[in-house]
Amino acid sequence: MTKDNYILAIETSCDETAAAIVKNGRELAANVVASQIESHKRFGGVVPEIASRHHIEQITITLEETLSQAGMVIDDIDAIAVTEGPGLVGALLVGVNTAKALAFAKNKPLVGVHHIAGHIYANRLEKEFEFPLLSLVVSGGHTELILMKEHGSFEVIGETRDDAAGEAYDKVARTLKLPYPGGPHIDKLAQEGDETIDFPRAWLEEGSYDFSFSGLKSAVINKLHNAKQKGDTLEDKNVAASFQASVVDVLSTKTYQAAKEHQVKQVIVAGGVAANQGLRKALADKFEGEEIELLIPPLKLCTDNAAMIAAAGAVAYQQGHRAGWDLNANPSLSLERYASRSIKHR
C-alpha cells in the first residue's frame, strides 16, 4: 500500500491569488482563491502590474488560510507545486518564487505545472481519467483540443489560429457595452435571445481541428456598425445568442469529430469558458447517447484555482518530475514542451 500524499499548490498566473491542498491527486483538502476582479473592473481588463502587486499582498494570507482550511501544518505537505506558465510574467513570478522559498525552507520537492495541464486535471478531482481522452480547453487565452493517451502526456491536435474563444467573447461584450468580464454576460443574454442572425462559422480545411474566431468577431462588430448607420435596431440579446450559437457550434462539432476519430473514452471540458451554459448544453446534446463520457467540472473548478495545479502536480510528482532552485516563470510555456519534459524525467 502506498502512503497518502499531500500536494500544496500555488497559482498566480493572472488575477487570482490561489492556493490549495490535494490528497493523492484526487481529493480536495483545501481550496482558497483570492480574486482581484474588483480592482481590475474599473480598467476594463487585467492590468498586469496591479495584478502582481495584489499577489504579493495576498500570498502568505492565502497560504495560511489554505493550511487552516485543511487543518494541516506545512510539515505535513509532501511536495510544493506551482504554475510556471503560461500567464502574466510578473504575476507568475510571485507564485514561482513563493513556491521555491517554501520548498527550500522546508526541504520539500518542488514541481512546476503548466497552467492548461492544471485546467484539464481539475476534472480528475471529480472523476478518474480513462485514456485515451480528449480535452477541449477554452479560456480567455486558449482554445485547444488536446489528446491524452496517458497521464502527463499532452498532444495538441487543434488550436486557434488567431483569437481565443474567450477573447472573442470579451471583444463582442465590449462592443455591446457589457461590463467586464464580458463572457458570462453574453452567455446570460444569449439565454434570453434567439439566433436571428446567421453569423459565419469558421470550419477551416476538411479534417482540421484548428479554430479561428477573428472573422466571427469582425462579422459581429460590422453587423452592429451597419445596423447603427442604417438606423436599424438590433436586439442585444439576439446578437449575443447568434454570436454564441456560432462559437458553440464550431467548438462542439469539432470536439465531437475529434473524439470519434481518436476513439476516446472521455471528453473533458476545461478552462474558464467551460462555465458557459450554451457550451455545456451544446456538448451535452452532441454526446447524448454516445458511449463517450462527457466531463465538465463544477463552476468553481472551471475558473483559475490552485486545486487544479495540485491535481496536475500530484501526477508530475509521482512521475518523478522535479524542478530545481532555478525554476523560472515562463509566460509562453508550451504544453507540448512541458509534456515532453515531464516524460523525460520519468
Partner 1 sequence: MNVLAIDTSNQILGVAVVKNGETAGELITNIKKNHSVRLMPAIAQLMKETGVTPSDLDRIVVAKGPGSYTGVRIGLTTAKSMGWALNIPVIGVSSLEVLAYQGMYFNGSICPFFDARRGLVYTGLYDQDMKLLKDETNMLMAEWLEELKEREEPILFLSQDVELHREAIEEILGDQAIIPPQACHAPRPSALALAGENKEAESLHGLVPNYLRLVEAEAKWLEQQEKK
Please report, in range form, the residues annotated as the binding site for Fe cation: 115, 119, 304
Q: Does position 15 bind Zn ion by CB under 5 A?
A: no
If the CB atoms of residues 229 and 325 are measured against partner 1, the closer one turns out to be 325
**Residue selected from 216, 255, 304, 323 as contacting Zn ion according to rule CB under 5 A:** 304
C-beta of 142: minimal distance to partner 1 in Å?
A: 24
Which residue ranges are tagged as binding site? 115, 119, 137-141, 170, 183, 187, 276, 304
Contacts of 42 (CB under 8 A, 6+ apart): none
Residue 150 CA, distance from chain mean position: 20
Q: Does position 202 bind partner 1 by CB under 8 A?
A: no
Contacts 24+ apart (CB under 8 A), 256-261: 256/286, 256/287, 257/209, 258/134, 258/145, 258/147, 258/157, 258/158, 258/209, 259/134, 259/287, 259/292
Q: Which does 318 bind (CB under 5 to 8 A by kind): Zn ion, partner 1, none?
A: none
**Residue selected from 53, 188, 262, 322 as contacting partner 1 according to rule CB under 8 A:** 53
Stretch that binds partner 1, among 58-66, 153-161, 222-230, 247-255 (CB under 8 A): 58-66
In the region spanning residues 87 to 116, those forming contacts with partner 1, defined by CB under 8 A, are 90, 93-94, 96-102, 104-107
Calpha distance 189→169 (Å, rounded): 12
**Residue selected from 3, 42, 230, 344 as contacting partner 1 according to rule CB under 8 A:** 42
What does the block give as the cell for 57?
Answer: 499582498
Is residue 339 within 8 Å of residue 93, measured between CB atoms? no
Which residue has 490549495 as its cell numbers? 20
Q: Does position 332 bind partner 1 by CB under 8 A?
A: no
For residues 127 to 166, the per-residue mask of contacts with Zn ion, x marking binding by CB under 5 A and - elsewhere, is ------------x---------------------------
Q: Which does 64 bind (CB under 5 to 8 A by kind): Zn ion, partner 1, none?
A: partner 1
Q: Does position 16 bind Zn ion by CB under 5 A?
A: no
Report how far apart, in Å, the C-alpha atoms of 242 and of each of 90, 161, 163, 193, 246 are. Answer: 37, 22, 18, 8, 6
Helix axes 182-192, 277-286, angle to 10 degrees: 60
**Residue selected from 70, 329, 333, 339 as contacting partner 1 according to rule CB under 8 A:** 329
How many chain residues touch partner 1 (CB under 8 A)?
A: 35
Query: Could you list the residues that contact Zn ion (CB under 5 A)?
Result: 139, 304
Q: Where on the chain is the footprint of partner 1 (CB under 8 A)? A: 42-43, 47, 49-50, 52-53, 56-57, 59-61, 63-64, 74, 90, 93-94, 96-102, 104-107, 324-329
